[in-house]
Amino acid sequence: MLLFQPDHLARMQRAAEADYPNECCGLIVGQIDEGGTDRIVTRIVPSPNVSTSNLRDSFEVDPKVRFDLMRELEGGDDDIIGHYHSHPDHAAEPSETDRSMVYEPDLLWVIMSVEQSRVVDTQAFRVLTDPITFSPVEIRSPSLDHSS
């Protein structure tokens, strides 16, 4: 389970909508809970998409954003636990390109589907290796919990 605060999802989704029809991307900072299965998001760090391919179907987090963030997190309780990007006019499922870009299996992937400037779906995945497979992870956020 991946637990967001409501403003985290809103910020990612606003970034995805603002960058449409290009892909947006960024890093997810948080903590792994005692049991080791749940991850609690504490911060969203947007990055410019520095991919040198077509920005409509590729993304790359700016190495400087990542480097600065890692220095800042050093020695603290928080870590980079994942990253997010958007799929303009495509489903919120990992693409073949995404599969070929799994360099760090420990990181969670959050993918947002954007249609006509609106986020219509947000999904999270963890990576299983050998062979590389994306396994769905439940997203929880107080904004998604309805008592009725």
Contact residues for Zn ion, defined by CB under 5 A: 95, 98
Residue number, 29 or 114, with CB nearest to Zn ion:
114
CB of 147 to Zn ion, least distance (A): 34
- What are the DSSP calls for 2-71, one per residue? EE--HHHHHHHHHHHHHHTTSPPEEEEEEEE-TTSS-EEEEEEEEE-B--SS-TTS---B-HHHHHHHHH
Q: Which of 95, 30, 27, 97 is nearest to 61 (CA)?
A: 27
Residue nearest to Zn ion (CB): 98
CB of 30 to Zn ion, least distance (A): 21
CB of 93 to Zn ion, least distance (A): 8
Residue number, 8 or 87, with CB nearest to Zn ion:
87
Residue number, 56 or 66, with CB nearest to Zn ion:
56
